Amino acid sequence: MESSLPITVAAINRSTQLKAFDETKTGVKGLVDAGIAEIPSIFRAPPATLTSPKPPSSSEFTIPTIDLKGGGTRRSLVEKIGDAAEKWGFFQVINHGIPMDVLEKKKEGIREFHEQDTQVKKGFYSRDPASKVVYSSNFDLFSSPAANWRDTLGCYTAPDPPRPEDLPAACGEMMIEYSKEVMKLGKLLFELLSEALGLNTSHLKDMDCTNSLLLLGHYYPPCPQPDLTLGLTKHFDNSFLTILLQDHIGGLQVLHDQYWVDVPPVPGALVVNVGDLLQLITNDKFISLGHRVLANRATRARVSVACFFTTHVKPNPRVYGPIKELVSEENPPKYRETTITNYATYFNGKGLGGTSALLHFKV
Ligand code: OGA
Ligand code: NI
């Protein structure tokens, strides 16, 4: 058909451009270093994904901040956490026990990795899911409608931490140390969340929610045309829970009641969010919200470190469905049972953007 010809040509052009970009092995940072003034067309986001209905500014549209050592009773803390997980699926925690200097060093380590000598960095560039440590730009480069203005270093740090010699010199030691701290905090949060569900303190841990940790060190270079692309497309997290460390630049937003609500940087705080798997096993009591990151308008790169409690790298035969204690005749299971491997395969195949992968598992 004649009319489809231009589309085909555009598609070929796009796939050639994607391949050429991937082969540079220097990511978005490489484009910025080369001094480009306009973003290449592969980064142009569909305009509908760039709209920003702003919330009426009121405390109703502020994600909660919870002090983990606030001096109240355990019960009041459990209530606050449960409330936040139910209404927002997103909250910030302060006094979480991870020392400030560990947070700072972690962010600096990720920055150093991305800003180091290009030749060393290229050695880690890979799209092989079997690699223990992977540096790449846009894990979904070849399947998403538009690339994001972001590069990422990723590594599974639990249950089998990588050997120190396999890790980048710039941030390897910190990856191990930081993930130990995140694991400790995660265990506490899963205890509090279990109690908030009216279950035994160890219920979520006993379901293997804390078995595995994936750490992603994101690097969002300054963008010359930040209104035309995104740092990270709207998505839902494929995890039970995510703990995010962001720097002072900002740009993270959550979609709440049809509004994009900013998650403002709070010095020393960590952002915690419910992932799809926790929404599934709690039968929608806790919610996994869509979120995105705007392209960086600052003159300095933005760094964030996301840690995902999930277990899909190793096939886990365990089957997950709504927790029996949480369902009843009046509140029947909303989801089919699935393995995490199965969920992850569907999630990754679908790619970021659009609707939640959870819909596919609805009864
Ligand atoms: C993620 C994520 C947010 C950020 O990695 O899933 O939502 O601020 N990151 O980098
Ligand atoms: Ni996310």
Q: Tell me: the pLDDT tens digits for 264-318? A: 999 999 999 999 999 999 999 999 999 999 999 999 999 999 999 986 666 778 9
Whether the Cβ atoms of residue 287 and residue 236 lie closer than 8 Å to each other? no
> Which CA distances in Å does 239 have to 9, 171, 273, 356?
38, 24, 9, 13
**Dist. CA 10 → ligand 1 center (Å):** 30
Q: Is 252 close to ligand 1, i.e. is its CB under 6 Å away?
A: yes
Say yes or no to pLDDT of 3 above 70.
Answer: no
Say yes or no to pLDDT of 5 above 70.
Answer: no
Reported as a pLDDT band with limits 50, 70 and 90, residue 2 is very low
pLDDT at residue 286, as a whole number:
98
Mean pLDDT of 313-341: 91
Whether the Cβ atoms of residue 259 and residue 61 lie closer than 8 Å to each other? yes
Domain range annotation of the chain = 2-361
Q: Which of 107, 213, 216 is the pocket-test mutation for ligand 1 (most atoms within 8 Å of CB)?
A: 216
**Dist. CA 306 → ligand 1 center (Å):** 6
Q: Which of 153, 244, 261 is the pocket-test mutation for ligand 1 (most atoms within 8 Å of CB)?
A: 244
Q: Which residue from 307, 317, 233, 245 is spatially nearest to 275, judged by alpha carbons?
A: 307
Class of domain 2-361: mainly beta
Which one of the ligands is nearest to 246 CA?
1
Say yes or no to pLDDT of 20 above 90.
Answer: yes
Q: Are strands 230-235 and 291-294 parallel, antiparallel or unpaired?
A: antiparallel
**Which of 64-78, 153-167, 215-229 is least confident?**
153-167
Distance CA(325)–CA(190), nearest Å, equals 17
**Dist. CA 52 → ligand 2 center (Å):** 18
Q: Is 244 close to ligand 1, i.e. is its CB under 6 Å away?
A: yes
